Amino acid sequence: MPREHYLKASYGIRSWLLTTDHKRIALLYLASVTFFFFVGGIFATMIRIHLLTPTGYLVTPENYNKLFTMHGVAMIFFFLIPSIPAVLGNFLVPMMIGAKDVAFPRINLLSWYIYITGGCFVLYSFSTGGLDTGWTFYTPLSSVYSNSAVTPAVLGIFINGFSSILTGLNFVVTIHTMRAPGMTWFRLPLFIWAQYATSIIFILGTPVIAITLLLVGLERMFHLGFFNPALGGDPILFQHLFWFYSHPAVYIMILPAMGVVSEIIPTFARKPIFGYSFIAGSSIAIAVIGFLVWAHHMFLTGQSTYSALAFSLLSYLVAIPSAVKVFNWASTLYKGSISYDTPMLYALGFIGLFLIGGLTGLFLACLGLDIHIHDTYFVVAHFHYIMVGGAVMGYVGGLHFWWPKITGKLYPEFLARVAAVILFVGFNLTFFPQFILGYLGMPRRYHNYPPEFQVLNVMSTAGASILALGYLLPMVYLTWSMRYGKVAGPNPWPATGLEWRTDSPPPAENFHVTPEVDWEPYDYGNRPDLGLAAPLAPSPAPAHGDD
Amino acid sequence: MQSQLSLYPDQASNFAGSVDSLMTFLTLVSVFFSFAITAAIVFFFFRFHRKKPNEVGVPIYGNMRLEATWIVIPFLLAMVMYGWGAVVFVEYRHPPKDTLDIYVVAKQWMWKAQQPTGLREINELHVPVGRDVKLILASEDVIHDFFVPAFRVKMDVVPGHYNTMWFRPTKVGRYHFFCSQYCGTNHAVMGGWVTVMEPANYAAWLSGSTGAEVDPVAQGEKLFVERACSTCHIGSGLGRAPSLNGLYSAKVLLADGSTVTADEAYIRESILQPNAKIVAGYQPLMPSFQGQLTEEQILALTAYIKSLQSQPVPAKGAGAAPATEKK
């Protein structure tokens, strides 16, 4: 372990709560998103136990509705959206581009306090009456009819939105202005491209959800008629505004995970990534086209047929860049030197689950098929494959990959591999039966169901117990490793990024000397400093030193 | 009715076959790609496993032909899925002529249906096999969704809007219907049964039922007088407002020069927001009935106005007559 590093730079609670070090802020986020993951996870566990029997096993209908609503709000707004950007992004964006910190370190700390403030409002809502509107807050149910604590919840999400906006702004400015000498745009790690695309969505999309939920609050408190038809409002308008953000929000969750996978695969195949510019460009394409597909959540609201036709077409177009990424990742493995290290297992698991999640998205984008599967468990299964199978696998894989950098310690490798396999198996057992349930016609958000759906529900709950084990194991051994793990050294894998060219854990200023970049990304063939053998058939790297 | 581990529900409407065919096609394409990519990954994973600790892979930076291939082929397949899905959807969104029209009103947490004869049902819906059925959907409160898995059809029921959906039952039986849009506490129990009957049995059920039966046309006519609609909307066309004779399904010329087809949604809008569309030649005099009529009363008024379709349409002239023409 290095004598001096960011964890030892200063001590005491004040040194954490007033820090402007992006690495410490990342750890503040790590602790807080883990807390919300626990909260959401407990709700999920209760949901799955309740659904063991057709008449409901555990709670009253009111409480069931609160459980799935609070599960969604905690997981989406307070875990999934901030997880990779605010934890791994905060830690890595400056380090990967060779900077000392983000462009606005104090604003970075401010965004964490905003997140905590928003989180407190939401926890206040959860603990004083709960929330039963569904995380989608559809009007006029949320703005007029619900008797739960809707107002503090929408205020909390409104406030939390500014945290995302400031983080996005910080990353965009940092990536534009603080790259080290020689770190040209096409030498950027693909994780940075993904963070950049995500930041664009943060900045352009989040204001819309923030103001929309504020309007819900205003309609609730002051009876202003925005969405309530009895006051001359339009409930469908809410859905347009809501999904204008909340569909791109799915890309906020998945794009950074794709960025993580794009780092892990070349590292553990020890070769340049296949089609760098296609993977980078597809991130931007997803961010842009992702803004033009929102009304595919609304095919059956009675919107015009022409509108449905246009949004279905655009939804198919956004699938193409995702497919391009998958093909490029798979091709990167060809003639690699592949290891079975834990991050690689997560990355490959991500591809498998994202494949199923992405392909079933095609089913829902298909107008004729959506008539039947819209608002059924098919949708539930689909978006859990994307958000949990995709985004969370990416996040946990990324945590393992950079854990030695963050803590300076190695986790127990064998246990970690076992946990990765348990997670993959448990996830599929939990959510695959839900595709079938959906096609058989079980609607979402049902606290009880006709008896013919029981077998598949029991299978799903059984899988969830395995999945829970898969999440608990890493929490235990990662925490354990902080104290008892083996010392990792600066570059244990070894990997090619700038963040691996400094100590683990890094010094407070990240690098002892400002790094200069004169190599292409993931260019194992031209990195004698890594101490590896020369490649069998070297081929010249495309030069990007001048662009 | 169905075994516990079947992969799809009963096929009991004209849409069931086409939706299931789409499902089969998309599943086959997806299974093919999932297996192909997974097989490639698993094969590479073991075939190119690291043999020596300091070994590196062969640097390969990309291949434009491959990139083009895996952009173009998925794009073409996606367009086939898009086009096929669009055909089914367009058919679903355009009901045929001469349907059996049933009004369905949703409220937290029950479904009320009214047959053309006025017969009312709660959480039940009886329809004859082989007949095109159109449901006109209204909500008293929040957004609901009428979903019949065995028919592969659903449609949101939105307060302040009329939505319609249609299907042709093809198999006699009893099938679940569900509320598929989350609507509050008892969302999960807001469902019931669709009973598909032989036409003769359906007719017998209609006439022999002891259910509450109020003729919606008569109820609408009563409201039409009570709410003083009849003082302006005079059948002869000589009142301050257009005659409603022959209005339903006719094209109406509006003050701004555009035309609109007088369907249920137009009639509803004209009752609740009369100034949204002004008929050419008339003044915007009518007060709004927003909040003063229940959904069922609006449906009754609509049924009455539809019944005026058979009344003599006054001749055009001097701006006093309605600017309507039969489709």
- Tell me the C-alpha distance between B12 and B196, whole Å: 9
Contacts of residue A317 in chain B, CB cutoff 8 Å?
A: 78
Q: Is A147 exposed, middle or buried (0-12, 13-18, 19+ CB in 10 A)?
A: exposed
Query: What residue in A sits closest to B49 (Cα-Cα)?
Result: A338
Average pLDDT over residues A521-538: 83
Exposed e or buried b for every residue in A205-222, given b needs 16+ CB within 10 A? bbebbbebbebbbebbee
Contacts of residue B52 in chain A, CB cutoff 8 Å?
A: 533
Q: Do B56 and A534 touch (CB under 8 A)?
A: yes
Q: Do A355 and B33 touch (CB under 8 A)?
A: yes
Q: What is the pLDDT of residue A545?
A: 46
**Interface test mutation site (partner A, options B87, B143, B183, B268, max chain A beta carbons within 10 A):** B143
B187 lies within 8 A of chain A by CB = yes
- Tell me the C-alpha distance between B103 and A345, whole Å: 55
Tell which wins on pLDDT, B325 or A364: A364
Q: Which two three-digit tokens encode residue A60? A: 């009253």
Q: What is the pLDDT of residue B202?
A: 94
Q: What is the tens place of the pLDDT at every residue in A254-288?
A: 999 999 999 999 999 999 999 999 999 999 999 99
Q: Is A53 exposed, middle or buried (0-12, 13-18, 19+ CB in 10 A)?
A: middle
Q: What is the pLDDT of residue A445?
A: 96
Report which of A91, A208, A107, A104 is spatially closest to residue A163, judged by C-alpha positions. A107
Of A141, A230, A436, the CB nearest to B183: A141
Domains and CATH numbers, chain B: 1-59+95-213 (2.60.40.420), 216-325 (1.10.760.10)
> Is pLDDT above 70 for A314?
yes
Q: A residues 68-127 near B, CB within 8 Å? A: none
Assigned CATH class of A20-525: mainly alpha
Q: What phi, psi does B105 have (nearest 5°)?
A: -115, 130
Query: What residue in A sits closest to B8 (Cα-Cα)?
Result: A440
Contacts of residue B150 in chain A, CB cutoff 8 Å?
A: 441
- Tell me the C-alpha distance between B322 and B313, whole Å: 9
A55 lies within 8 A of chain B by CB = no
Of A136, A271, A312, the CB nearest to B85: A312
Report the percent of chain A where pLDDT is more than 90: 92
Of B18, B63, B74, the CB nearest to A368: B18
| Residue B134, beta-bridge partner list | B101, B166
Report which of B7, B8, B3, B9 is spatially closest to residue B176, judged by C-alpha positions. B9
Residue A432 distance to chain B (closest CA, Å): 13
Q: Please give the interface size between A and B, counted as residue pairs whose CB atoms are below 8 Å apart.
A: 313
Residue A51 distance to chain B (closest CA, Å): 12
Q: B residues 64-83 near A, CB within 8 Å? A: 66-67, 70-71, 74-75, 78-79, 81-82
Q: What is the pLDDT of residue B320?
A: 37
Q: A residues 342-381 near B, CB within 8 Å? A: 348, 351-352, 355-356, 359-360, 362-363, 365-372, 374-376
pTM of the model: 0.89
- Tell me if residue A190 falls in helix, strand or coil: helix
- Would you list the domain boundaries of chain A? 20-525
Average pLDDT over residues A341-367: 96
Least confident of A409-418, A493-502, B174-183, B199-208: B199-208
Of B40, B89, B149, the CB nearest to A368: B89
Residue B207 distance to chain A (closest CA, Å): 32
pLDDT tens for chain B, 327 residues: list them. 444 567 889 999 999 999 999 999 999 999 999 999 999 999 999 999 999 999 999 989 999 999 999 999 999 999 999 999 999 999 999 999 999 999 999 999 999 999 988 888 999 999 999 999 999 999 999 999 999 999 999 999 999 889 999 999 999 999 999 999 999 999 999 999 999 999 999 998 888 765 556 778 888 888 888 888 888 888 887 888 888 888 888 888 888 888 888 888 888 888 888 888 888 888 888 888 887 788 888 888 888 888 887 777 775 533 334 444 443
- Tell me the C-alpha distance between B119 and B117, whole Å: 6
- Per the CB < 8 A criterion, the answer to whether B93 and A335 are in contact is no
A472 lies within 8 A of chain B by CB = no
Q: A residues 511-530 near B, CB within 8 Å? A: 523-525
Of B19, B61, B163, the CB nearest to A371: B19
Contacts of A167 (CB under 8 A, 6+ apart): A82, A85, A86, A89, A90, A108, A111, A199, A202
> How far from B315 is each of A60, A370, B257, CA to CA, in Å?
63, 47, 20
Q: How many CB atoms lie within 10 A of CB B261?
A: 12
Residue A457 distance to chain B (closest CA, Å): 12
**Interface test mutation site (partner A, options B50, B145, B153, max chain A beta carbons within 10 A):** B50
A224 lies within 8 A of chain B by CB = no
Tell which wins on pLDDT, A507 or B303: A507
> Is pLDDT above 50 for A187?
yes
Contacts of residue B23 in chain A, CB cutoff 8 Å?
A: 363, 369, 372, 439
Q: What is the tens place of the pLDDT at every residue in A50-63?
A: 999 999 889 999 99
Angle subtended at Cα B253 by Cα B252 and Cα B256, rounded to the nearest 5 degrees: 135
Q: Do B90 and A305 touch (CB under 8 A)?
A: yes
Residue B75 distance to chain A (closest CA, Å): 7
Contacts of residue A435 in chain B, CB cutoff 8 Å?
A: none
- Tell me the C-alpha distance between A89 and A98, whole Å: 14
Which single residue is written with the structure tokens 């929102």?
Answer: A294
Residue B270 distance to chain A (closest CA, Å): 14
- Tell me the C-alpha distance between B111 and B124, whole Å: 8
Residue A300 distance to chain B (closest CA, Å): 5
Give the pLDDT band (50/70/90) at residue A537: low
- Tell me the C-alpha distance between A150 and A129, whole Å: 9
